[in-house]
Structure 1
């Protein structure tokens, strides 16, 4: 009696192996751990945040201690209560928006005008010879001293206030941009020339990136000058604004209202400065930092 032959079926070459799905193993991908540099940066960031919070709490504590020692200062609680009252009435937001609008208008106009002028002064020696004496001359005159003249020439509307803010921002930014251009490493420019780059390419690919940190520093300085100028400008012929809101309480010795205006100016300026720092981090990430 013969035993029937057992037939074997050979699987096709592309058939998955037993226990496998679609020819791909189910083993989980190994997780990539953060590099030591990344972990160190995270630790440093957390440490700086804790130090900043401790500094904030400590500053408020010192303020409260001064009040307890008899200094004629409103307590933080009184300032907070007055700020909430002004916010609910809408006066705080009206004055804040008026000041912020003026600062942004004058500051941005100053930056837009200063950056091209600073590049021209740094790149072309004849332009620098013509403009530098005038820039330094007006830089020595405080923008606040020009307010009376601006009111006479431009009237009592928004024009003179925005103009003096523009002037403060422009002078700070033009000097910083010019310094950034003249501080570019000549080795980089010479190397680009050796590689056949034209002046336009060198300017766009070498000078502009190398000058960006200087421009951003000038913007931070100009922002501080803009806030300092707007408060003084609003004290003269202004109907609203944080500077104006601190003038009337001065007559009635309402120190808590004055403190509300100071705190709002500080918070707005700090927030705008942090935004510029974030932009600096994004735009100058190629720099070697220590």
Structure 2
């Protein structure tokens, strides 16, 4: 019986339950620091009318997508070189594994000294977080390509170039799409840390400024907006994954 219920119904029920839990928590002692849905919605209306919210969203999106896009452009060739050439793998992989264990926030002092507090500094912090996540994911995809396919291609007379473009890349494509989702998630989770580099606008900056004045409804609003943006972008990537890699019957989580 439950299996016959449309997934959209569960989505609505889940949303309503979430609002109910949110409201109940705000009515407890935690309500002093956890604004309720009504107060948060009022803050949304006020910030939207003033135009400040749109300005914050635009600034944060620019930083997130900028750092994410730059990371993707560099991560793909680095990951394929690591997976295809043993020498490159032996030289680069230890450093990738080492750097990915360091929180991106640790690079902020270095980035500020090197680049100041402009937009490039914020994009750099987001780039580092996204790049390390994506390069590892794509690299694992290249390494996990079925060896039988490669051997069969060689038996049929395929050259390395043909194997790379017609076997390795198509077989790794689903991993690239998964890496996109992971990289975007890393970019969003690093946003607030990136905006510690002296941002004047942005959702992270809005949250930090509101916390100083104990305007918890603005803090919650900023958190919710980051969550909504991340949710919508993830759904977009999931849609692309199903359309572009459906032939591999990839099941996304």
- What is the aligned counterpart of 1:256 among 217, 227, 248? 217
1:68 match:
27
2:189 match:
228
- What is the aligned counterpart of 1:137 among 72, 75, 98? 98
1:240 aligns with 2:201: yes
- What is the aligned counterpart of 1:147 among 108, 113, 132? 108
Q: Secondary structure at the match of 2:30?
A: coil
2:133 match:
172
Q: Secondary structure at the match of 1:268?
A: helix
Give the Cα–Cα distance (whole angstroms) in 2 for the partners of residues 192 and 96 of structure 1: 49
- Structure that is richer in helix per residue: 2
1:214-238 per-residue CA deviation (whole Å, 9 max, x = no partner) reads: 1111111111111111211213311
Give the Cα–Cα distance (whole angstroms) in 1 for the partners of residues 250 and 190 of structure 2: 33
- Give the structure, 1 or 2, with the largest relative contact order (CA under 8 Å, sep 6 or more): 2
Give the Cα–Cα distance (whole angstroms) in 2 for the partners of residues 246 and 260 of structure 1: 8
Deviation at 1:211, TM superposition (A): 0.7
The correspondence of residues 52-201 of structure 1 with structure 2, limited to 5 A, is 52-72=11-31, 73-201=34-162
Give the Cα–Cα distance (whole angstroms) in 1 for the partners of residues 26 and 134 of structure 2: 40
> Contact 1:169–1:225 at 8 Å: present in 2 too?
yes
Tell me how large the CA RMSD over aligned residues is.
Answer: 1.7
User: Once superposed, which parts of structure 1, at least 4 consecutive aligned residues long, lie more than 4 Å away?
Assistant: 43-46
- What is the aligned counterpart of 1:277 among 227, 238, 253? 238
- What is the aligned counterpart of 1:51 among 4, 10, 14? 10
1:159-191 per-residue CA deviation (whole Å, 9 max, x = no partner) reads: 211111111111111101110000001111111
Deviation at 1:69, TM superposition (A): 3.3
Matched residues, number: 248
> Contact 1:172–1:219 at 8 Å: present in 2 too?
no
1:191-212 per-residue CA deviation (whole Å, 9 max, x = no partner) reads: 1222222211211111111111
> Contact 2:68–2:184 at 8 Å: present in 1 too?
yes
Using the size of structure 1 for normalisation, the TM-score is: 0.82
The answer for unaligned runs of 5 or more in structure 1 is: 1-42
Using the size of structure 2 for normalisation, the TM-score is: 0.93
Say which is worse superposed, 117-126 or 207-216, in terms of deviation.
207-216
1:69-116 per-residue CA deviation (whole Å, 9 max, x = no partner) reads: 343122211101110110000000001100000000000000010001
> Contact 1:184–1:210 at 8 Å: present in 2 too?
yes
Give the Cα–Cα distance (whole angstroms) in 2 for the partners of residues 84 and 238 of structure 1: 23
> Contact 1:98–1:240 at 8 Å: present in 2 too?
yes
